[in-house]
Amino acid sequence: MAVDHSDSGQDELKAGPRYIVNPWVSFLREYGPIPQNNNMYDESIQRVTRRTKVQPLQFDTGDILDRIVADLNADHPRSVLLTGTAGDGKTYLCREAWCALGGKRAEWDTDAKVKRLRIHNRKKLIVIKDLSELGGSDYKYLERMADSIVSEDPEELFLVAANDGQLVEAWGRTKTSEAVTRVRQLIEELLVGDLSEKAGYGLRLHNLSRTDSSELMAKILVTVQEHVGWRGCEGCLGQTNDVRYRCPIWENLSRLRDSVFTDRLGKLLRLSDQDGYHLPIRQLLILSSNLILGAPSAKNGLLQCRDVPQLVDEKRTGEASIYRNAFGGNLSPDRRANTEVFAVLGRFGIGDETSNQIDNMLIFGSDDPKLISTFDQLVRTDLLYGASSQFLAHQAGYLDGTDRSEIEEFLDILPSARQRLFFTIPPTDVKRLGLWELTAFHFAGEYLDEVLVPLRTGERPSRLILDRLVRGMNRVFTGILVSASRELVLTSSSSYSQSRISRIQEHSISVDPNRGEKVAFELLKERPCLAVHLDRDHKVPLLLNLVKYEFLSRVADGALPISFSRECYEELLSFKTKLLQKWQSLRRTYGEEDPASEREVTIRVMQLDQKGMLVQNPISVKL
């Protein structure tokens, strides 16, 4: 559909490039958050592939496929169990493994729930691509699998894929034999303990929900950008640089090349991983598709080529802002909440959270001489999604302040402006503008850059950060606004260790190394933690994640422990209890605990003086 602009002198138009319809774009929609039966995702993609002859997205799943094949082909082969949540790519991997081991595609495409194959080392391989499909009599395969796993030289090998919940349930339903009981126990151990194998058992468990979402997303984005399907856009009017005719789909695609954008997105994903919110491949594909095609007025919230001319004509290109799409802003609140990736990214509150500095700039930036240069640099340069004519009009309307509806209209578009800023503030301005105050986690940037990264490269995070965390812990432990950070105080209230206010100091642990005591950042099985060393041989680790880090930092800065996260508060009180337990048992072991022989007792009661400094009032009593 060509656009008529009889008043403009644009040569391009007179010559007649029009908006093209590219079937690849329609195909890309299939990956997006359109309502469909989740279980059939892979199958429906396959179906559309066959029908339209478009190449589906194919990307490198890392070396998992190689490892699966190696395990099954080895001299001492192991059965393989693939687990994870829906959308982790289990079916995909099973199929790829089947083909890599010599299986025929045609055979795979049949309906059979249990497939058999003879593989290189002459063993029989039994593949179950979805455990939930098994019916009553098929459960005998699980019994056989159990036998295979516990035997030294199994005749049959198994490749099974299942969600972890189904896994546990299915084994619960299998007829009990000694092998089944042992294997059920084994699987539970592996799942809950995050392990992949145990000596003496011929099984390898791959938990696909333990992958690094940000790495995977980076691969997906590259694959999407480089897909041949985009060639179908060549010659389309939308590829012009003139913002009056620019196609939002093409614009979003090119913005994917912006490293600041992909870097920020990667950070959000890595931080979500940290907090235990794993996003499977399917969800990342949904995100990718939504980033490029999202627009609230389109059908199902995703653009098709034929929607573009009208959108552009009505100057509503800004609706397709890639920055808003990142959070599902193009979808209804219900669908957003029910789509995992947007629920997870929504945790950061980007769009709603803000600071005075940022909002001042967004609201008064056009006018105020102090803010103009920042506004120009950060907003005005982006004519499509930043200082679009729509934005500027609403901003003026708001400042004018007379019309109630104009005020509300501006407030309605502020969130997307904030979302855009999150992805575009240049690295050099991150500190000055307080980038992370645009999220619910003000300390997230610091957590990533100054704790996680140093730890992974073998360095130590700064002492200031350690001090802050220790101070936060002390405040939670005692319930008082102490500022002590040289030592970790273990307190109780004489009767209970978990009282909200515990003033009696039982013990204190030096943060600086002192005769085996210390408090330090460490890595525990690849996860960052704060380790409290009670002596040279005994330590108790506190696993860190973003929420806990934020919690402790905020409490150290003065927030009430209950206010940010109830869960963190409880966790830290439990941690204190663990420390006290450990310390008491150590004292017993070393024979230091002999109350009968105590002649004098000193009770250290903690109080704050007028300046807020910790003062200990010892009560000395002769017994």
Partner 1 sequence: MSTELQRLPRPASESIDSSLWVDEAIWGHRLYDEQVPWLTFLEFLTVLRGEWRNDRAFKEPNGPNHLQYPTQHFLYLRNVLFNNPTLSRMLVLHPDDDTRWSNWISDMSKRASGVDPKDFGYLKSRFSSMEDFVALVELLRSTAIEGSSNKRWTSKFVFPYGPHCLYEDLRLERDGRASNDRRFFARTGEILYLMLCRSGLGEELIQELRPLVLDENTRWNRLVHLLERSTSEGEVQNRQRSAYLPYPQLPAFKKLAEDWLALLRLRMPGYDVFPHLVDMVGVHLVLYFLQRASEWVHKKPKLTLVLEILAPKRTTIRDLAAETYLENNLLSRQAIQKFIDREIVQTDDWRLAKGSSDSFGNAAKVVYERVLWKAVEGDQRGYVGQQTPNALIENLREAVAKRHRQHLANIHSQYSRAIGLASKRGTRTLRYAPTDLLLKTLVFATVPNRMEFQTFLELLHERYCFVVGHRQARQFIGTGASDQRAFEENAKRLELRLSSLGMLKRLSDACAYVQNPLGASQ
* One of 49, 223, 390, 493 touching partner 1 (CB under 8 A): 493
* One of 44, 52, 225, 498 touching partner 1 (CB under 8 A): 498
* One of 192, 260, 543, 615 touching partner 1 (CB under 8 A): 192
Q: Does 395 bind partner 1 (CB under 8 A)?
A: no
Smaller CB distance to partner 1: residue 246 or 282?
A: 282
Supply 145's token pair: 């699998």
Q: Does 272 bind partner 1 (CB under 8 A)?
A: no
Output the smallest distance, CB 207 to partner 1, in A. 9
Smaller CB distance to partner 1: residue 292 or 504?
A: 504
**Binding to partner 1 (CB under 8 A): which residues in 402-421?**
none
Containing 519, the helix (H) or strand (E) segment is strand 518-524
Smaller CB distance to partner 1: residue 203 or 580?
A: 580
CB 117 within 8 A of CB 125: yes
Output the smallest distance, CB 178 to partner 1, in A. 21
* One of 8, 49, 166, 508 touching partner 1 (CB under 8 A): 166
* One of 185, 306, 566, 589 touching partner 1 (CB under 8 A): 566
Helix-, strand-, coil-residue percentages of the chain, each rounded to 5: 50, 15, 35
Q: Which stretch binds partner 1 (CB under 8 A): 15-23, 81-89, 119-127, 285-293?
A: 81-89
Smaller CB distance to partner 1: residue 254 or 585?
A: 585
Q: Exposed e or buried b for every residue in 402-441, given b needs 16+ CB within 10 A?
A: eeeebbeebeebbbbbbbbbbbbbeeeeeeebbbbbbbbb
**Binding to partner 1 (CB under 8 A): which residues in 282-341?**
none
Looking at residue 387, the DSSP 8-state letter turns out to be S
Number of residues that bind partner 1 (CB under 8 A): 44
Closest CA to 318 of 252, 381, 366: 252
Closest CA to 179 of 214, 138, 143: 143
Supply 120's token pair: 């290189």
Dihedral pair phi/psi, residue 192, rounded to 5°: -75, -30
CB 550 within 8 A of CB 444: yes
Supply 510's token pair: 């030096």
* One of 492, 505, 545, 553 touching partner 1 (CB under 8 A): 492
Give the x/- contact pattern for partner 1 in 435-464, rule: CB under 8 A.
------------------------------
* One of 567, 612, 613, 615 touching partner 1 (CB under 8 A): 567
Smaller CB distance to partner 1: residue 218 or 608?
A: 608
Which CA distances in Å does 133 have to 40, 113, 146, 359?
A: 12, 7, 19, 53
* One of 581, 612, 613, 615 touching partner 1 (CB under 8 A): 581
Smaller CB distance to partner 1: residue 152 or 594?
A: 594
**Binding to partner 1 (CB under 8 A): which residues in 194-253?**
209
CB 65 within 8 A of CB 96: yes
Q: How far apart are CA 444 and CA 268, in angstroms?
A: 9
Tally Cβ neighbours within 10 Å of residue 194: 12
Q: Does 163 bind partner 1 (CB under 8 A)?
A: yes
Tally Cβ neighbours within 10 Å of residue 121: 13
Closest CA to 34 of 288, 302, 256, 229: 302
Smaller CB distance to partner 1: residue 332 or 581?
A: 581
Q: Exposed e or buried b for every residue in 13-50, given b needs 16+ CB within 10 A?
A: beeeeebbebebbbbbbbbbbeeeeeeebbeebeebee
Smaller CB distance to partner 1: residue 151 or 181?
A: 181
Q: Does 169 bind partner 1 (CB under 8 A)?
A: yes
Smaller CB distance to partner 1: residue 209 or 321?
A: 209
Length of the chain (residues): 623
Output the smallest distance, CB 498 to partner 1, in A. 7
Q: Exposed e or buried b for every residue in 520-548, given b needs 16+ CB within 10 A?
A: bbeeeeeebbbebbbeeeebbbbebbbbb
Give the x/- contact pattern for partner 1 in 583-622, rule: CB under 8 A.
-xx---------xx-x--x-x-x-----------x-xxxx
Q: Which stretch binds partner 1 (CB under 8 A): 138-146, 157-165, 253-261, 306-314?
A: 157-165
Smaller CB distance to partner 1: residue 342 or 375?
A: 342
Within 13 A of 174's CA, how many CA atoms are on the CB side?
A: 27
Containing 26, the helix (H) or strand (E) segment is helix 23-29
Output the smallest distance, CB 172 to partner 1, in A. 8
Interacting residues of 267 by C-beta distance below 8 A, sequence separation 6+: 214, 444, 445, 448
Smaller CB distance to partner 1: residue 123 or 503?
A: 503
Q: How far apart are CA 110 and CA 105, in angstroms?
A: 9
Smaller CB distance to partner 1: residue 272 or 304?
A: 272
Interacting residues of 181 by C-beta distance below 8 A, sequence separation 6+: none
Q: Does 173 bind partner 1 (CB under 8 A)?
A: no
Smaller CB distance to partner 1: residue 204 or 576?
A: 576
CB 547 within 8 A of CB 460: no
* One of 300, 357, 483, 577 touching partner 1 (CB under 8 A): 577
Output the smallest distance, CB 492 to partner 1, in A. 6
Question: Among all chains, which residue has been given the structure tokens 């405040």?
Answer: 475
Ranges of beta strands (E only) in 104-202 are 114-118, 124-128, 156-163
Q: Does 165 bind partner 1 (CB under 8 A)?
A: yes
Looking at residue 485, the DSSP 8-state letter turns out to be -
Q: Does 85 bind partner 1 (CB under 8 A)?
A: yes
Output the smallest distance, CB 324 to partner 1, in A. 28
Give the x/- contact pattern for partner 1 in 513-552, rule: CB under 8 A.
----------------------------------------
Smaller CB distance to partner 1: residue 405 or 495?
A: 495
Smaller CB distance to partner 1: residue 144 or 578?
A: 578
Residues that bind partner 1 (CB under 8 A): 84-86, 163-169, 191-192, 209, 492-498, 504, 566-567, 570-571, 574, 577-578, 580-581, 584-585, 595-596, 598, 601, 603, 605, 617, 619-623
